[in-house]
Structure 1
């Protein structure tokens, strides 16, 4: 269901993109309607509308290049749709189209230009009697007529306000006749880039399709059993050939020795034969059996049409397009049915194929409605075909990637089997090396701990030994109180060091018990402040308490009050040790959404930020000054373990000579294991 929703979303998104392109992309020109062979542009400004379409009523003289006795016909249109003496104009013959244009005087002498689309099927373009362009050879008979049909841009600088445009055209071979597309007129600086953009678009399509064709042919040469690559390369090649024979970039530019009729034959034959490849490619992509009877019908129709294009005159074989288009429509419907069947069978490619078919259907319907003046917008059939090809390129790329992934996976599995024993040996070697490294780290840590403890115990023992020796030698009096106090302090320091070390070991091994209680944090912290206030003031320090918690609200936290007081006492003790008399110690309490915090802050000697990472390690001291303060180096490590047991965090921030601040953050009403 998720995949189906993805396909539907992508389809709707691409259809919406085509709709927006059709409806909101600005057309290359705005059509101006001539009346009775006259187009009045005397008030028109090419600054606001730089390109216009020369549509409307043109003077049309059948079999008369002089333009005498014309009738007025709608342009663009094919002349075999016109009526002359209540009879349709035949497709073969010659005629003159004439249009009088009245320009705005300010554009006399300015650089303007004409874009001449395909005109069926040879013509001479004149302005005020001056021949500006010839396409093919215009003739009054088939024998002296040479067809050509290439769009062109013509720069023109008018020297007067009134322009008489004459297009002398003849046709004896092509199924399109006369001015069946709009002629554009406007500023050269705008019209020429539009013409160049057409060239760029066609170059992109031709180059892209040729690259894809070469790529898939090479892939087929490497994997002869994958015929779908060959079929797809032929389809890409046919699109490139058709684009090069029907657009602005035509074969006669690339191969001047080719006649227009030869180019037309190449276009038709490549299209018919490529349709066979397209039919086979669809079957291989949809994983559907190829019915030989249907394949024979497709081959017969395509080969017959190709032979007609090769051997019959162009005046005949060009009319095979309409019946062939009907045949393609029938095959298109059949392919849609096969795609639906493949979708039901779970073939992923079939979903994307239906997406591409939906885009083509929408593009063709859009262009038909625009052609019939039932819808405004841009032609998007070429864009929908491009999207269709991109989808199939992506499908082929995914197929090749899957094949490569399977081959790579099998190769990897084979390598794994071949190197299984070696890998096991390597894994065990790595494990042994890792275990040895861990043992070395443990040994280094043990050695460092023993060395640190020995050093911390040697100082008070040396003091004890020195005092005892002095008393024994009679140098120090036995009843001197200050020496007895010193002895007591040194013994107390050793006792505290051993007690802290024992408590830290118990916590790290999770053997120390905690008694958690639901405590009102505001009331608890304020009582701690009160209990230590007298002691802090006795050290000639100012002790300040500040809480941002709401006083009339209970802030319940699950904690062990004795252990949290131990953290607080340690932090407060450090602040007192390293803050000179007259300094300030602050106790701050606040709450966030899911946590509650307290902070002990002082303005003492502080320490540099480089010590923060190791500050909470065992036996770590920041500076010699701190060592002189009889710090065991275990208080912060114990505080960290207690905080961790409460699922909280403890952080430190400081700068030298600007004090330090330690923050403990605890979760609110969170179950603690």
Structure 2
């Protein structure tokens, strides 16, 4: 497997790149080369021969001004294409910044005479002017003798002239005060104007095709991420495609400059550098999102941070500064490619079989970038932008991946559909059987529910019967209560009875829980209380209730708060004992209501309880408000504050309603509970008792 990795991802892409380079117009030769400033094309006999490259030795005059005589300067020769900073056995190196004149004498073939010919120039850094036989036929940018008078601009141009002689002299004045790689960097071609137009159209077609393909794929992947959000890799790939799409418009045909010629070259140069420093981090993020288990997050993060910082510096740097420092980023790209190659060798191919297209495309793209860097940093000349075409191929492979994924998912969907159809048939049969069973069981359940409801109504009536009737008359005492169980039956119990002349006992208890079980506890409580009703001390009654419940109903594990109070209308006293019951409210005539606190723990927990009775004044006109905890508690988030708030509202309502009837007073208090609970459902029984003493003596 290791050998197949090396062969598939290194030797395979490398061989493909070599094949592309050999078959490209850059390397295709026609055997014609310039020698010592001259080139003989008279051997061309075919009028449809096409464009001919003028590669070879051109006459080169360093720091020669336009129109200045050749005799004033030493004549040398330089290889075209190539930078004048290159040094070889037959060529000396010149400074980056300056100006020079290139000359070449061309002997034209007979078939080109009396025709309109075209001289095609590609990348010439960074401004130039072209003369044919001493006449200016065009320029790119504004070449000058210093940085102030030079306006750089690098773009491909076709210059037309009429061939009326057997030979011509091409003179190109080049000045550079911006680029770190000056001179004529791409081949110069000559040929019939129609051939030049065809060549230019072909190049433009491929560039527009690449631009359109990258733009469409970029937008498609971004929208795929926006709609699916299942993975960020389409977003990174889409952004990378859009950045390289912009870069595509700046190379070869330079589409952006073709449609927007008014854009300054300084901006074009800056955008060109930024597309490189912005595109690399997007590719790193894409690669790491697809092959996350194999890449180092530290390296990816460091690469992204370095690229961001470099992009910021490039954004605010001038053209000379950016051209000089772009080599730093080239070395960073070289390190990144080496790391990604290393990562590819670690990838488990069997596990990542679906991403073979991405791996193969990455290998081709990496080697293509290395080829471009070799041209730029070693040969110091222009290239055919193999990375540009490799990227288009990479996007094509990505589309194959998408097609493969869609095909696989379609096959899975079709298989699932067939399985679903079979399952649906089986489910339909099961459904028919289940429907019949459900109908039978529903019929039984409905009968049971009707029976249960009937029994609950009976239990409800029974429970209502054990409560003190509202029409009971007790001398010296008026009372009213509201009993609202959560369900049909509840767990609250109350009793108001005259146990001795002038002595009225009030009982309120709350069995923990609600529903049938709690209601059964109230039945038991009623039974036990009736036996203990005549005991004189409320605390003694509570202790005895606790003892009996623990002995008789220990298995139920039921607890309940309870309060018993005796109102003595003759002594005008109120004696009470409260076992774990919430604070109750007492209002004496002419005073603000006060709280009655519990005097012992809740019943049903311990056999031995410390419960005491307390006696307080209860003069004529006093009011007593007793209630279960369902009135002041709910399940809101801030339940403690709600409980305190409810107590304050109830106390205030009791004070303000001291002249109101007991019935109206209780209704107002119940509204407080409904108001603070809001839309939340009630979760406990509510019992509210209002007792008032009055003078029963006849005047």
Pick from 169, 174, 185: which aligns with 1:180?
Answer: 185
- Of 379, 392, 401, the residue aligned with 1:386 is 392
Distance change (3 Å), C-alpha of 1:255 and 1:11: same
Q: Secondary structure at the match of 1:170?
A: strand
Question: In structure 2, how many angstroms separate the alpha carbons of the residues matched to 1:207 and 1:145?
Answer: 34
What is the 5 A alignment of 1:232-631?
232-288=237-293, 291-343=296-348, 346-349=351-354, 351-360=356-365, 363=368, 380-399=386-405, 421-422=427-428
Kindly provide the CA deviation profile for residues 11-39 of structure 1, in whole angstroms up to 9, marking residues without a partner as x. 98776665554445665653633233222
Secondary structure of the 2:56 match is: strand
Deviations 1:451-507 (A, max 9, x none): xxxxxxxxxxxxxxxxxxxxxxxxxxxxxxxxxxxxxxxxxxxxxxxxxxxxxxxxx
The Cα of 1:79 is off from its aligned counterpart by 1.6
Equivalence for 2:30: 30
Contact 2:41 2:109 in 1 (8 A): yes
Residues 196 and 205 from structure 1, CA distance in 2 versus in 1: closer, same or farther, beyond 3 angstroms?
same
Displacement of 1:92: 1.5
Instruction: Show CA shifts across 1:526-546 (max 9, x none).
Output: xxxxxxxxxxxxxxxxxxxxx
Residues in 2 aligned to 1:404 and 1:145: alpha-carbon distance in whole angstroms:
61
Q: Does 411-420 or 325-334 show the bigger shift?
A: 411-420
Would the aligned equivalents of 1:46 and 1:186 in 2 still touch at CA under 8 Å? no
Name the TM-score, length of structure 1 as normaliser: 0.55
Q: Structure 1 CA distance, aligned partners of 2:354 and 2:293?
A: 12
Cα 1:290–1:414, aligned 2, differ >3 Å: closer, same or farther? farther
Output one character per residue of 1:518-573: Cα deviation in whole Å (capped at 9) or x when no partner. xxxxxxxxxxxxxxxxxxxxxxxxxxxxxxxxxxxxxxxxxxxxxxxxxxxxxxxx
Displacement of 1:322: 2.3
Change (3 A) 1:277 1:125: same
Aligned equivalent of 2:56:
56
Q: Distance in 1 between matches of 2:258 and 2:112?
A: 33
Tell me the distance in 1 between the aligned counterparts of 2:48 and 2:101.
32
Q: Deviations over 1:329-383 (max 9, x none)?
A: 222222223223222672124544442344345546777889989xxx9985544
What's the secondary structure of 1:153's corresponding residue? strand
Closer, same or farther in 2 for the Cα pair 1:220/1:307, shift >3 Å?
A: same
Equivalent position SS for 1:89: coil
Greater radius of gyration (CA): 2
- What is the rounded CA distance, in whole Å, between the counterparts of 1:203 and 1:123 in structure 2? 27
Which of 64, 77, 102 is the matching residue for 1:97? 102
Hey, what does 2:134 align to over in structure 1? 129
- Residues 268 and 349 of structure 1, relative CA distance in 2, 3 Å threshold: farther
Distance in 1, matches of 2:50 and 2:331, equals 40
1:113-192 equivalent positions in 2, closer than 5 A: 113-192=118-197
The gaps in structure 1 that reach 5 residues or longer are 427-673
CA distance in 1, matches of 2:427, 2:6: 47
Deviations 1:165-190 (A, max 9, x none): 11122111122311122101123333
Matched, 1:218 2:219: no
Structure 1 equivalent of residue 199 of structure 2: 194
How far apart, in 2, do the equivalents of 1:110 and 1:80 lie?
37
Q: Structure 1 residues 398 and 107, CA, compared in 2 at 3 Å: closer, same or farther?
A: closer
Deviation at 1:208? 0.3
RMSD: 3.9
Partners of 1:31 and 1:55 within 8 A in 2: no
**Equivalent in the alignment of 1:467:** none
Give the structure with the higher percent helix.
1
1:420/1:271 CA distance change after superposition, 3 Å: farther
Inter-CA distance 213–110: structure 2 relative to 1 (3 Å threshold): same
- Give distance in 2, aligned partners of 1:392 and 1:73: 44
Give the drift of 1:247: 1.9
Question: Could you list the runs of 5+ residues in structure 2 that have no partner in the other structure?
Answer: 433-699
Aligned pair count reads: 422
Contact 1:115 1:195 in 2 (8 A): no
Cα distance in 1, alignment partners of residues 425 and 14 from structure 2: 53
